[in-house]
Amino acid sequence: MSENEKSRVPRSPAEIYDEFFVPTLFQPWARVVLDAANIEPDQCVLDVACGTGVLACAVADRVGSGGSVVGLDPNEEMLALAHDKSNAIEWRTGRAEAIPFPDESFDAVVSQFGMMFFGSPSGALREMMRVTRPGGHLAVAVCDALEHSPGYAAFEKLLRRLFGVRVADAFCAPFLLGDAERLLSLCAAAGIFDAKVTRHDGVVHFASIRSLVSTERACVWTLGGLLDDRQFETLTAESEQVLQAFVEDDGALTFSMPALIVTAAKACPELEEN
């Protein structure tokens, strides 16, 4: 197959996710999540909703050869790409609400930017804590509220003006858990009463405005399949005006996108008795 022919082969949602969303949105957060979960060398760690493996691979680097890492995701295409990145990590198919491991299997459980799409976030939190060992830590990152990310907030208003509520609401899905009180309520429903939620600043960086529009249009979890070619060109042209305030001298698009990170430690009965 020639290079031109390869370029015309449709890419899967997993490939689009890995090429565009991982370096732009997810890779920079790996260290923050690992620090929040107190990941140390030689630990056994589970990454829930691991996607194509960016966080799990960062965990593997930190725990070293003396530790072990499992990446869990329901999407086989995601896991296939993850497996290509590392065969030292155990990649498992499974849902966050039904983690296929016994109680107290891991020293730490982490998850970044997946809980917004779980069918039962509180059920997933309960499962994550179930498989955490006493004294172990949990860290889960979600997008902060849309209004705290000015570039995406402007983009959402444009979507609403051009295409209506259905398209705009689809785009808003990743931001729906961006509320500390709601996250603490989900933790309480999961039986986790000592959880903390902290806000961390982050930055979104795209090569251009068109790059952002193309990436968001291709995202199967939000705008994927909702816009035809004509609508895409209209959105791109309008975005050039609406998002101009966030364009750097080199044409790159940059704006803040903070995250909320839920952390909790599993009680150690021996310490409680003392």
**In CATH, what number is assigned to the domain containing residue 133?**
3.40.50.150
Tell me if 18 is assigned to some domain.
yes
User: Lowest-confidence range among 49-58, 89-98, 181-190, 208-217?
Assistant: 208-217
At 31 the pLDDT is 94
Tell me if 2 is assigned to some domain.
no
Q: Phi, psi (5° rounding) for residue 266? A: -80, 130
Is the pTM value of this prediction over 0.85? yes
Tell me if 272 is assigned to some domain.
no
pLDDT band at 271 (very low <50, low <70, confident <90, very high): low
Mean pLDDT for 169-189 is 96
CA dist 169 and 150 (Å) reads 17
CA dist 271 and 251 (Å) reads 56
Residue 180: pLDDT over 70? yes
At 4 the pLDDT is 44
At 13 the pLDDT is 77
pLDDT digits (tens, 9 = 90+) for 101-147: 999 999 999 999 999 999 999 999 999 999 999 999 999 999 999 99
Angstrom distances, CA of residue 202 to CA of 42, 66, 116, 233, 236: 29, 31, 18, 29, 24
At 124 the pLDDT is 98
At 270 the pLDDT is 60
- Asked if 153 and 258 touch (Cβ cutoff 8 Å), the reply is no
Tell me if 178 is assigned to some domain.
yes
pLDDT digits (tens, 9 = 90+) for 247-270: 999 999 999 999 999 999 998 776
Question: Would residue 150 be called left, alpha or beta, if left means φ above 0 and alpha means ψ between -120 and 50 degrees?
Answer: alpha
Q: What is the mean pLDDT of the chain?
A: 91
Tell me if 274 is assigned to some domain.
no
266 token code pair: 């599993």
Tell me if 245 is assigned to some domain.
yes
CA dist 29 and 17 (Å) reads 16
Domain range for residue 152?
12-265
pLDDT digits (tens, 9 = 90+) for 69-100: 999 999 999 999 999 999 999 999 999 999 99
Q: Give the chain's domain count.
A: 1
Tell me if 173 is assigned to some domain.
yes
